[in-house]
Amino acid sequence: MCFYVDVHLEVARIKKEFGLDDVGLEDFDRLMGQEHIISGFSNPELMVVGPGPSLAKKQWGLVPAWTQSVEKAHTMQQRGFTLNARAETIFDKPSFRGVITRKRCILPIAGFYEWQHLNSRDKVPYYITGAAAPILATGCIWDEWSDPGTGEVIDSFSMVTTQANPMMAAIHNTKQRMPLFLEPHNYSLWLDPTLSPEEVKKILVPFDTSNMQAWKINKFNPRQLNTCNQASIKAKSNTKDLFD
């Protein structure tokens, strides 16, 4: 599954890639412009692209609209239950089936981090990014939940995942998953709330390996990201990796 992403992107590139106006760009730069690694387990507020296209602030870790209490909402987020949504079951799971057909958005990222397991104890991190494009458009779903006591609204999202392509199967060799990445010609389709379920399902496929590149990086502690949130975390390790 995917829980650690690099959102260090230039505002000008985001604006051009998705045809955005200036609304929300300042928040994008503030929340994401300096972050080389973010953990979904911290339930960060990030900027996603929605219909329009337009930018909106949403929290990573979807809280379904039907959630009955603050305690259940917090538990769902803190345990990471809805950080990811599997494409194969997204039309069946109660948390996702009501929103996949009409509430879809895109999280722009520069890359993401995944670990290859060498044995039961040892694992090595990889950084994965686009082969040519500076932006990976991650397919997500979103929902709104209102605190029954205060009326506070939490706008939140889940990242959709698919089966791994051959490159990601070699890296993420335990669960063999990867984020759903969208081709540019599918941006507007993914954001269209009137798209039929059959058409949505056609988009839920693994990204082609030829559109991605990856390399081994030095080990770091994902629980202490404040000490490694810098560009050097993405530097290629001196040790041989899968793709040397």
pLDDT reported for residue 121: 82
Give the integer Cα–Cα distance in Å for 144 and 64: 7
* Listed residue (49, 35, 31) closest to 4, CA to CA: 35
Q: What six digits make up the tokens of 233?
A: 């975390």
Q: What is the mean pLDDT of residues 67-80?
A: 93
Displacement of CA 223 from its chain's centroid (Å)? 18
Q: Which carries the bigger pLDDT value, residue 121 or residue 162?
A: 162
- Architecture per CATH, domain 4-234, reads as Alpha-Beta Complex (3.90)
* Listed residue (107, 124, 119) closest to 5, CA to CA: 107
Give the integer Cα–Cα distance in Å for 45 and 57: 6
pLDDT reported for residue 178: 98
pLDDT reported for residue 242: 75
- Partnered with residue 115 across adjacent β-strands are 125
Kindly tell me if the per-residue pLDDT of 240 is higher than 80: no
Domain layout of the chain by residue ranges: 4-234
Instruction: Flag the least confident range among 40-54, 137-151, 222-236.
Output: 222-236
Instruction: Return all residues near 169 (Cβ < 8 A) that are at least 6 apart.
Output: 176
The answer to whether 50 touches 64, Cβ cutoff 8 Å, is no
pLDDT reported for residue 216: 96
Q: What is the mean pLDDT of residues 20-48?
A: 93
Beta-sheet pairing, 212-216 with 123-130? antiparallel
pLDDT reported for residue 50: 97
* Tokens 């040790």 belong to residue: 239
* Listed residue (32, 60, 35, 10) closest to 233, CA to CA: 35
pLDDT reported for residue 181: 98
Give the integer Cα–Cα distance in Å for 132 and 102: 31
pLDDT tens sequence across 134-175 = 899 999 999 999 998 899 999 999 999 999 999 999 999 999
pLDDT tens sequence across 216-225 = 999 998 888 8
* pLDDT grade for 33, boundaries at 50, 70 and 90: confident
pLDDT reported for residue 224: 86
Kindly tell me if the per-residue pLDDT of 194 is higher than 80: yes
Element containing residue 17 per DSSP (H, E): helix 11-18
Q: What six digits make up the tokens of 36?
A: 């080389």
Q: What is the mean pLDDT of residues 87-108?
A: 97
Instruction: Return all residues near 90 (Cβ < 8 A) that are at least 6 apart.
Output: 96, 97, 100, 141, 160, 204
Q: What is the mean pLDDT of residues 10-27?
A: 93
Q: What is the mean pLDDT of residues 14-22?
A: 95
The amino acid at 207:
F
Average pLDDT, the chain: 94
